[in-house]
Amino acid sequence: MLRFIEEDFRVLRGPFESGRQTPGNLGFTLIISIFLQAMLYALEYFMAADSTIFPYKDNILQVHFWLTVVLVILSIIYAIPAVYKRSGKMQYLVTIIVTQNMSSIPFLIMALFLVGKEGEGMIATEGSLLRFTFIILLIGLLIFIFTFIRFNTLLRKGHYRKGSKKDELRGRFENTSYVPAAIIVGLGIVFIIQYIVRSTSIDDINMIVLIVGGITAFFVMLFILPEQLVILYCKFRFKSFNFNERGYLNK
């Protein structure tokens, strides 16, 4: 990343220039996230965790509880104007983690707990559920790696320079560059459905949709994460990605 110059990331300033991701708007998002994080944890604890044989369930719930508590406290702190005006970089970092805790982590946990629901005809064991979880996490890691490589390639091609033209060749490249990640996601969904059919007693289509949807949400957020991390990197490296204490984006 150090070989890139500021101009290579210029398009990524768009959310800041448009006002969508000003410190004030991010602060408002953090306030809303307090209630959403609490609600999602409640669903995870009182609904998905009930009657599941998923191993280390209590440990997972405890770790996620304290993670949520810490993030709620940080959300309150970095929603205060006097704080985020002096620490915009940390506010953006907290926002990234909170976003993952609202849109990814709880849905993954709930999906895994639902897969391990006890029922008549249940074949899955704690060992097979752990292997299933490991494969899901491995697929997620591959999605993240492919997406990060794609992002790096687009940066080198100048796709994020100010005023760059997306001619036919670039358009073709950008479309096909999604293929590896899309294939991995597709294979992951097929694997999930096969595991549910073969190893669990779940025959409710709504339950299957909830499980597949929850894990897919986890995959999608990993697809978004590289861009969020690159923007965070830009905020630490370039002054022009930050706002001054009066609320104006630095030139």
pLDDT of residue 192: 80
Region 147-165: mean pLDDT is 81
Task: Please state, rounded to an integer, the average pLDDT across all residues of the chain.
Answer: 84
Digit-coded pLDDT (tens) for 194-222: 777 776 767 778 888 888 889 999 999 99
Residue 119 has pLDDT above 60, yes or no: yes
pLDDT of residue 243: 83
DSSP-derived secondary structure for 76-121: HHTTSHHHHTT-HHHHHHHHHHHHHHHHTHHHHHHHHHHHTB--TT
Instruction: Say how many CA atoms lie within 13 Å of 179 toward its Cβ.
Output: 6
Residue 33 has pLDDT above 80, yes or no: yes
Map residue 19 onto helix, strand or coil. coil
Region 135-152: mean pLDDT is 90
Nearest to 12 by CA among 245, 240, 244: 240
- Which residues lie across from 243 on neighbouring strands? 249
Which has the minimum average pLDDT: 97-106, 185-194, 195-204? Answer: 195-204
pLDDT of residue 120: 53
Map residue 248 onto helix, strand or coil. coil
Where do the structural domains in the chain lie, given as residue ranges?
6-241
Region 30-58: mean pLDDT is 89
Region 155-162: mean pLDDT is 82
Name the band, by pLDDT with cuts 50, 70 and 90, for residue 1.
low
Region 16-32: mean pLDDT is 88
Classify residue 250 by its DSSP letter. P
Residue 134 has pLDDT above 90, yes or no: yes
